Amino acid sequence: MTRTSEISGFYKLPPEERVRRVKEFANLTDDEASLLGSTGSLGLQTADRMIENVIGAIPVPLGIATNFLINGKDYLIPMAIEEPSVVAAASNAAKMARSTGGFKTSTTGSVMIGQIQVVGIADPNAARFDLLSQKDLILKKANEQDPMLVSLGGGARDLRARVIDTPRGRMIIAELLVDCKDAMGANAVNTMAEAVAPLVEGLTGGRVLLRIISNLATERLMRAKAIFSTDALGGAEVVDAILDAYAFAASDIYRASTHNKGIMNGVTAVVLATGNDTRAIEAGAHTYAARSGRYQPLTCWEKNGDGNLVGTLEMPLAVGLVGGATATHPIARISVKILGVKSALELGEIICAVGLAQNLAALRALATEGIQRGHMNLHARNVAIAAGAEGDLIDRVAAKMVEERRVRMDRAKEILQQLKGT
């Protein structure tokens, strides 16, 4: 039988039947097929309603970061991530921040930007004025699309427009500014942008093409600040070493990329745990980091008058509490309950604090003993498991590899053989 990936009506099949088809295609064993079907707390039917062509779910560990004191309130923070050491690092940094009052956060609000691209206008500057003169009309049309959001105090707030030069000529980019309140806002904003498009065409005489939210949520910035005392960090040399590490990131984009990756370890883990859109947050974060035209670290580190280290993080964080997977995924709902947040802004601010904590932990480790020692134990356990160790053999194989400083699959297998032999 020829194997083809062209399976007509695959989307219409029940998940169990899809699993059967994939099993056949990929020669999966019975065990592999049944593992696919066991989606745990998500439930196969719920997963099937969330995306298309579902055959299973891929569980990611959910850890709890402890010690977070944010604006005087204690939080336990759920983090969904496959990488060892991240949760421990966040918890450690949060502990260090406690003696100096923990994290202080703030926000610019929950306004998202919906972009409407208008092409084919001979006199775009004049057309822009015509468009802006009818701002009230456009906002009214936009707000008619979402009476619920408006009743909650949100809705389209402003209209702005720019003329941009492009390889295909000049265009008007109209932007709807929409207060999305507790929603991430993609649905509300996209609906509004589509609904006002005919009005925009009428007013400008141009043709509307794209109508879509921007993930560069510069009107939804979160800010977090914390002081880390010299004592908590381990001395004045550590403070200086962290400042040197930060200077490296501020002056070199290869380092800035990894610096920001460390921040995103914390950010994305909480975004995922709460069922929010990790890609939207990542896209916004990295674009924000490059907003000056040069990719920069998202955090800033300084020494205050007392010689303590002060960290700040400002980044767009468009997360929601209503709609999307946050509402449908049972574990995401529990994560939100553990956090005890009352608004999407509170959630965004917490995530910002976690990003800052994560960055501090990484910089401190890198600028002192290096990150490998902390990583090694968990990594060694993972390698031991991959080599086939089970039960108490996992720890015994891992401990031996760490002791020898040789954490490798071939060595894990050898040690496993030896231990099994004895």
How far apart (Å, rounded) are the C-alpha atoms in residues 154 and 179?
Answer: 5
Q: What is the rounded radius of gyration, in angstroms, for the C-alpha atoms of the chain?
A: 25
Q: Does 250 bind ligand MEV (CB under 6 A)?
A: no
Query: What is the CA angle 382-387-390, rounded to 5?
Result: 75
Pairwise CA distance, residues 261 & 269, whole Å: 12
Q: Is 277 a catalytic residue?
A: yes
How far apart (Å, rounded) are the C-alpha atoms in residues 104 and 369?
Answer: 29
Q: Where are the alpha helices (DSSP H) in 234-343?
A: 236-251, 253-273, 278-289, 324-328, 330-339
Binding status of residue 265 toward ligand MEV by CB under 6 A: yes
CB-nearer residue toward ligand MEV: 187 or 257? 257
For ligand MEV, give the closer residue by CB, 261 or 406: 261
Q: In the bound complex, what is the minimum distance in angstroms from residue 281's beta carbon to ligand MEV?
A: 17
- In the annotation, is 181 catalytic? no
Tell me: does residue 262 bind ligand MEV (CB under 6 A). yes
> Which amino acid, residue 225?
K
- What is the DSSP track for 172-221? EEEEEEEE-TTB--HHHHHHHHHHHHHHHHHHHSSEEEEEEE-S--TTSE
Distance separating alpha carbons of residues 395 and 380, to the nearest angstrom: 9
CB of 366 to ligand MEV, least distance (A): 6
When binding is defined by CB under 6 A, the residue of 199, 226, 362, 412 that contacts ligand MEV is: 362
| Closest CB 268 distance from ligand MEV, rounded Å | 11
Residues 302 to 341: which contact ligand MEV by CB under 6 A? none
Looking at 95, 135, 303, 375, which residue is catalytic?
375
- Among 157, 261, 303, 333, the residue binding ligand MEV under the rule CB under 6 A is 261
Helix (H, G, I), strand (E, B) or coil at 102: coil
Contact between 371 and ligand MEV (CB under 6 A)? yes
- Candidate ranges 100-108, 236-244, 253-261, 313-321; the one touching ligand MEV (CB under 6 A): 253-261
Query: Has 329 been annotated as catalytic?
Result: no
Binding to ligand MEV by residue 366, rule CB under 6 A?
yes
Q: Are strands 73-80 and 207-213 parallel, antiparallel or unpaired?
A: unpaired
- For residues 263 and 394, which CB has a smaller minimum distance to ligand MEV in the complex? 263
What is the phi-psi region of residue 178: left when phi exceeds 0, alpha when psi lies from -120 to 50, beta otherwise?
beta
Q: Is 170 in the site for ligand MEV (CB under 6 A)?
A: no
Quote the least distance from Cβ 221 to ligand MEV, whole Å: 22
User: Which residues does the annotation mark as catalytic?
Assistant: 83, 261, 277, 375
Contact footprint for ligand MEV (CB under 6 A): 83, 258-259, 261-262, 265, 362, 366, 371
